[in-house]
Homo-oligomer: A and B are copies of this chain.
């Protein structure tokens, strides 16, 4: 027997329509690429999004077609989020920081028909366009006054495309499972793979973001997402802000400390979202200039683990609550958020910090489990580690065009992260699955070993990789960039002893001039493993 409730689809257009109806005067403020601050309202944004939908239709864009963006966080990018998905096409956000070959691969794989670009990235687009096989039009996200003179005929001006459109356009209604947006994730191995979000997954994820226990987005919030809109949809901020009518502040291309501070201060920002790197820049600026950000209530730190010193700085020095969060492109991206439960409010500072270093508690909608070395779900005891797997209505079930084949394990999404979960459901990541050292049926965390190693004064940078071992399967090798000409292996081993379990101690230490890094600045374990392919441990009594 079916319930007798209305069969209304959860569509992205309903989010912006809600904001335009119930928060029509609430502002969206952006630092523009052209320079000045741009401000308008949700009513304006919704109208422009409908103009945009009509403009795209006029260019022949239809249901399911991919429209790519190469753009900063601005009001025009915001309009693209709603205009493209709202009309039934797929908003495909491109990361301008990728290598040229990756961009070419992704655009061709996605078969983008339209490419919308900020002025900033026009030189890049001009260079790569001949290799973008499916792109018919380039839409330059600016007005006529700022359009370059000498562009080819298939380069259109964004604002011109919106001109003369009808106010009568109604958002179409269709299946909530329809594709809405596309975001590629570039793993360290293989080709980039596309997470293809649906309208349903996006709306449900937005609900989760507005829960008081997660990001607590609300109509009193003034939200500045420093996290880029090309990075997992800026953690869904544009959608959840519209769902609740929060004032939005977009930083445009200005991600340095001074620019972010200026907007925070002038627009009375209450909530910040971004990765640790941008907060390092902001904290540095605040300290150097003796500035405060007293209006900010919370800063969401995600993307990579929030360092202890950063949490302490925000909480103790600047009185800003840190919400440590964890997610993945394949999770839309929110998976866990570290908001305290009632019983944890009165923890001593040190205990509280230890708790905050964890990636957070599971939220309704994302089921978690930990699969141990034996292939079995592990207990939630804060100690048993295993690969983290997720399940839920905003978790990917496959990649676009089935790239990578069947990615699920028993209906669950394997994250590639090694983690443990405590009895209160707090998640703590300990390593990447491919980096963990499998020794005698147990796992050694490369990250923990590295963290302990760099606390030795003679170690500038450290990486741990697993080396094949006849008896233990794998054993850890510590690769160190020394400070100066430091080269005392015994001193480092002595330093580690007592800090890690005895059987975790590396079997050898190798000194190198430098470590290989990926495009995003992380140590490339892949390249390091290749470099040490033929390495053998010294004969010993292991």
A contacts, CB < 8 Å to B: 1-8, 10, 14-15, 18, 21-26, 63-64, 90, 175, 177-180, 195-201, 204, 207-208, 210-213, 216-222, 243-245, 247, 332, 339-342, 345, 361-362, 364, 380, 391-400, 411, 413, 423-425
Partner of A4, one of B7, B196, B364: B196
> When the two chains form their complex, are residues B398 and A4 in contact, meaning their CB atoms are under 8 A apart?
yes
Q: Are B3 and A196 in contact (CB under 8 A)?
A: yes
Q: Which residues of B contact A245 (CB under 8 A)?
A: 213, 341
CB-contact partner of A210 in B211, B332, B393, under 8 A: B211
How far, in whole Å, are A195 and B26 apart by their CA atoms in the complex?
A: 36
Minimum CB–CB distance for A241 against chain B, Å? 11
Q: Are B4 and A400 in touch, CB under 8 angstroms?
A: yes
Beta-carbon contact of B23 and A364 below 8 Å: no
- A2 to B175 Cα, complex, angstroms: 9
A211 with B208, Cβ < 8 A, contacts A7-B397, A219-B342 known: no
A397 touches B4 (CB 8 A): yes
A345 touches B220 (CB 8 A): yes
Task: Enumerate chain B residues within 8 angstroms of A15, measured Cβ to Cβ.
Answer: 364
Query: Taking A5-B396, A200-B5, A342-B219 as contacts, is the C-beta distance between A213 and B210 under 8 angstroms?
Result: yes
| A1 surroundings in chain B (CB, below 8 A) | 63-64, 90, 178-179
For the complex of A and B, 7 pairs with smallest distance between CB atoms: A3-B198, A22-B425, A1-B64, A207-B207, A212-B218, A5-B201, A4-B196
Integer count of this chain's copies in the complex = 2
Q: Which residue of B lies closest to A10 (CB)?
A: B393
Closest to A5 in B: B201
Chain B min CB distance to A522 (Å): 27
A392 touching B8, Cβ below 8 Å: yes
Residue in contact with A339 in the complex, picked from B24, B200, B208, B219, CB distance below 8 Å: B219
What residues on B are CB-neighbors of A196 within 8 Å?
Answer: 3-5
CB distance from A320 to the nearest CB of B (A): 18
The answer on a CB contact under 8 Å between B207 and A213 is no
A406: shortest Cβ distance to chain B, in Å?
12
The answer on a CB contact under 8 Å between A340 and B21 is no
Are A342 and B6 touching (Cβ within 8 A)? no
Instruction: Give A180's nearest chain B residue, CB to CB.
Output: B3
Other than the given A4-B179, A219-B361, 9 more pairs (CB < 8 A) read A5-B332, A22-B425, A23-B425, A25-B424, A210-B212, A212-B212, A213-B219, A219-B339, A244-B364
Q: Which of A10, A14, A63, A342: most chain B CB closer than 10 A?
A: A342
Q: Which of B340, B341, B380, B394 contacts A23 (CB under 8 A)?
A: B341
When distances are taken between beta carbons in the complex, the residues of chain B under 8 Å from A219 are: 213, 339, 341-342, 361
Residues of the B chain whose Cβ atoms lie less than 8 Å from the Cβ of A399? 4
Q: How far is the CB of A156 from chain B (nearest CB, A)?
A: 25
Can you give 13 A-B contacts (C-beta < 8 A)? A2-B198, A3-B196, A4-B198, A6-B391, A6-B396, A8-B392, A18-B364, A207-B210, A210-B210, A210-B212, A213-B245, A244-B364, A245-B341
Contact between A5 and B198 (Cβ–Cβ < 8 Å)? yes
* CA gap between A190 and B14 in the complex, in Å: 36
Chain B residues near A424 (CB-CB < 8 A): 22-25
Point out the residues of chain B lying under 8 angstroms from A397, CB to CB: 4-7
Closest to A243 in B: B364
A1 to B221, CA, bound (A): 35
Assess A22 versus B362: contact at CB under 8 Å? Given A198-B5, A244-B213, A341-B245: yes
* Residues in B neighbouring A216, C-beta threshold 8 A: 212
What CA separation (Å) do A396 and B5 show in the bound complex? 4
Expressed in whole angstroms, the Cα–Cα distance for A200 and B8 within the complex equals 11
A415 to chain B, nearest CB (A): 14
